[in-house]
Amino acid sequence: MRYQDIDWDTMWLESRARKSWKKKKSSDWDKRAAGFAERNLDSPFVAQFLAHLEVEPEWSVLDVGSGPGTLAIPLAGQVRRVTALDYSASMLAELEKQAKAAGRDNITTVQGSWTDDWQTLAIPRHEVAIASRSLSVDDLKGALRKLNDWAGKAVYVVDRVGAGPFDPDLFRAIGRTFEPGPDYIFTVNILYSLGIHARVDFLTLDSTRTYSSREEALQSYRWMVDDLTADEEKLLTAYVDARLSRIGERWQLARQTPPRWALIWWRTPG
Ligand SMILES: C[S@@+](CC[C@H](N)C(=O)[O-])C[C@H]1O[C@@H](n2cnc3c(N)ncnc32)[C@H](O)[C@@H]1O
């Protein structure tokens, strides 16, 4: 067998079809916007991502699948302007609220999808394009090509490593099998097939995370499971409670598998 005989696109599609969670619609993300913002805007993930990003103050950044501005808001303090593209109106409303609170007035929000015509959306080419934890697409190659075309200097993509943010032990505890679906290695190989030799860095978050309440800790686990039944909810609660400890006013939760992400990046031909 030769490397070029491997059909990464088909393998990616097949692995995706087996994954344990459903693809989310914009309305699903709308419902999650406030909770996602609460859990992620101050996550240690942000500092780890930004430590790897090389940007100049006069550059602009296109953030695809920006969510509530996890990266767009801190980035707006480092560059001339940021365009935040997301198909969830509630995520963009969260972003606008948080940007205002942070005093950032150089972010343009655009409600749109990976598959929309970005020219029709009047999105210009930016120096840098990023897509963090937002590559939820049916055509991965097309999405990667699009990012490459819209970036004059560099592209940064954050993709899952193995289970990514999911806790496989939770699935075992509630009696479900866990199938993580395709992770970053597919993306790196599909980029290779496009003639793009990307670099990869790894962002590993702490396996212990602190929460302001037990309910917040429970919420941060509930999002992992689609269509949680009442029996599964009880098992999930027992799983979380067994790992939670109270430290003063805060709650600390330790898991076996720390969340891991791959930061895939490359310089574009310009
Ligand atoms: C997990 S959040 C990531 C948010 C942010 N980039 C981060 O790293 O925290 C995924 C975001 O991608 C958006 N998204 C998912 N599929 C999308 C699509 N097809 N078009 C545009 N946005 C999409 C969702 O609405 C959500 O805000």
pLDDT along the chain (270 residues), means of 10: 93 92 87 86 92 97 98 98 98 97 97 97 98 95 98 98 94 94 96 97 93 90 92 97 94 93 94
Protein residue whose Cα sits closest to atom 10 of ligand 1: 134
Same domain, 9 and 114: yes
Which amino acid would we find at residue 78? Q
Q: What is the CATH number of the domain that holds 9?
A: 3.40.50.150
Ligand 1 in contact with 69 (CB < 6 A)? Answer: no
Query: Distance (Å, rounded) from C-alpha 132 to C-alpha 111?
Result: 17
Same domain, 70 and 133: yes
Ligand 1 in contact with 39 (CB < 6 A)? Answer: no
Same domain, 10 and 34: yes
Our measurement of the distance from residue 115's CA atom to the centroid of its chain's CA atoms, rounded to an integer in Å, reads 17
Same domain, 110 and 214: no
Protein residue whose Cα sits closest to atom 18 of ligand 1: 113
> What residues contact residue 209 under an 8 Å CB cut-off, 6+ apart?
220, 252, 253
Contact 88, 30 (CB under 8 A): yes
pLDDT at 241: 96
Same domain, 56 and 107: yes
Report the atom number in ligand 1 closest to the C-alpha of 113. Answer: 20
Same domain, 195 and 238: no
Ligand 1 in contact with 132 (CB < 6 A)? Answer: yes
Report the atom number in ligand 1 closest to the C-alpha of 63. Answer: 6
pLDDT at 22: 81
Domain of residue 45, residue span: 3-207+259-267
pLDDT at 141: 96
Same domain, 67 and 164: yes
What separation in Å is there between the alpha carbon of 87 and the centre of ligand 1?
A: 8
Q: Is the CA virtual torsion 258, 165, 149, 60 positive or negative?
A: negative
pLDDT at 23: 80
> What residues contact residue 91 under an 8 Å CB cut-off, 6+ apart?
29, 30, 33, 36, 66, 67, 68
| Structural domain count of the chain | 2
Which segments of the chain does DSSP mark as H helices, in order? 8-18, 26-40, 44-52, 72-76, 89-101, 140-150, 168-173, 184-193, 214-222, 230-243
Protein residue whose Cα sits closest to atom 8 of ligand 1: 132
Ligand 1 in contact with 88 (CB < 6 A)? Answer: yes
pLDDT at 39: 80
- Cα–Cα distances (Å) from 72 to 48, 106, 201, in that order, read 14, 10, 20
pLDDT at 41: 86
Of residues 106, 62, 104, the one with CA closest to residue 84:
62
Ligand 1 in contact with 65 (CB < 6 A)? Answer: yes
Ligand 1 in contact with 86 (CB < 6 A)? Answer: yes
Q: Which tokens belong to 191?
A: 């980029």
What separation in Å is there between the alpha carbon of 104 and the centre of ligand 1?
A: 21
What separation in Å is there between the alpha carbon of 66 and the centre of ligand 1?
A: 6
Of residues 128, 154, 8, the one with CA closest to residue 59:
128
Same domain, 95 and 54: yes
Pocket test for ligand 1, best of 42, 134, 220 (most atoms within 8 A of CB): 134
Same domain, 95 and 227: no
Same domain, 178 and 243: no
pLDDT at 265: 98
Same domain, 152 and 47: yes
Same domain, 115 and 215: no
Task: Tell me the whole-structure pTM to 2 decimals.
Answer: 0.94
